[in-house]
Amino acid sequence: MTADRGPSVPTIGDRGRRLLRLADTRGIIVGIAIDHRDSFRATLAGRGIEDRTDDDLREIKLRLARALAPAATAIMLDEELGGRAIDEGAVPSSVGLIMPLEAQGDDQTGDNRLTTLMASFTPEDAHARGAAACKVLVPYRPDIPSTAAKQDDLIRAAVAASHRVGLPLVVEPVVYRRSMEDVAAFGEAYPSLVVAATARIAALGPDLLKLPFPVGETVPPTSAEAQAASRRLDDATRGVPWVLLGGGVDAETFLDQVQVAGAAGASGFLAGRGIWGPALHRDPDVVERRAVAIARPLLERCRLAVERVARPLPAAA
């Protein structure tokens, strides 16, 4: 009679295999991010679409996912507004699903921003949903020791909780400007702040970093300055694989950014409203038509651009 060994314990190998589910067969990540919640509502409001219910937003996310997921290797979707897209099969089985753990709310704004993990949706829930990875977004200022230390503790907790169920964790640090901070001074400090945040977070055990382009909007993305900053960013990851986030920049700028980031060592990208933003409309049918006609070709252009230069995941790891 064979003894009951109890439930299997997830291993590093389990996480590695799931991480590779986010990439194509060469190890390059072509990701579409539709996990926005408060910011999704804000994006819609910015386009004059303010009278939509939560069910309306779920329908819009379903249409975006249905149009864009087949052209991606990974998709970020939340449970609150994106769960319907998962339920209705909008995410092909070949596409890795990443689900967020961070709560929304007032702590995500202001001068000393802190992240809170959702009590209502945990890595166990993501695992049950068939997710390949979890994700946590952290507003981060490495030059403010009190809040940085608290964010570090939260990242460690999210890493441990995700790893307990065998899921890799994606960490997305967002360096922000404080209300009394001079715009020009912040712009000058931005590259060093991004690099410092990355170096500090890379040491906390994440499996993948989702990072901003490391220079401000006034610096041309193909300039020598931007290329050097991207190489410094890659050095700061300490060998942790990373992808470029979209940041809402226009399509042509992002195409330049993904090529520079890929040449520096990024394993791809996870982009959001810069790709699907032009598809937004109050009519879901229009959303889907625009997503197919406008957003999907843009995603495919970005894919072709990054495939030529990106560092595949196995080499990055």
HEC string for 241-285: CEEEECCCCCHHHHHHHHHHHHHHCCCEEEECHHHHHHHCCCCHH
Identify the band that residue 9 occupies on the pLDDT scale cut at 50, 70 and 90. Answer: low
Q: Determine, yes or no, domain membership for 7.
A: no
Residue 12 has pLDDT above 80, yes or no: no
210 and 170 Cβ atoms separated by less than 8 Å = yes
Q: Determine, yes or no, domain membership for 19.
A: no
Going by C-beta distance under 8 Å and a sequence separation of 6 or more, which residues neighbour residue 243? 29, 31, 208, 209, 210, 211, 266, 267, 268, 269, 270
Domain that holds residue 257: 30-316
Using CB atoms within 10 A of its CB, is residue 310 exposed (0-12), middle (13-18) or buried (19+)? buried
Q: Determine, yes or no, domain membership for 66.
A: yes
Distances (CA, A) of 52 to 40, 49, 78, 201, 281: 11, 7, 18, 37, 11
Q: Determine, yes or no, domain membership for 291.
A: yes
The strand pairing partners of 74, in sequence order, are 31, 96
Going by C-beta distance under 8 Å and a sequence separation of 6 or more, which residues neighbour residue 22? 29, 31, 73, 74, 96, 98, 132, 133, 208, 313
- The model's pLDDT over 59-107, given as tens digits with 9 standing for 90+, comes to 999 999 999 999 999 999 999 999 999 999 999 999 999 999 999 865 5
157 and 151 Cβ atoms separated by less than 8 Å = no
What is the average per-residue pLDDT within 284-313? 95
Residue 23 has pLDDT above 50, yes or no: yes
Q: Determine, yes or no, domain membership for 191.
A: yes
What is the average per-residue pLDDT within 254-264? 95
The domain tally of the chain equals: 1
Distance CA 183, CA 169 (A): 32
Residue 58 has pLDDT above 90, yes or no: yes
Supply φ then ψ for residue 180, to 5 degrees: -95, 5
Residue 244 has pLDDT above 70, yes or no: yes
Q: Determine, yes or no, domain membership for 55.
A: yes
**pTM summary value:** 0.92
Specify the pLDDT at position 105: 66
What is the average per-residue pLDDT within 147-166? 97
- The model's pLDDT over 173-202, given as tens digits with 9 standing for 90+, comes to 999 999 889 999 999 999 999 999 999 999
277 and 36 Cβ atoms separated by less than 8 Å = no
Q: Determine, yes or no, domain membership for 13.
A: no
Specify the pLDDT at position 143: 94
User: Which CATH number characterizes residue 258's domain?
Assistant: 3.20.20.70
Q: Determine, yes or no, domain membership for 299.
A: yes
Mean pLDDT, rounded, of the chain: 92
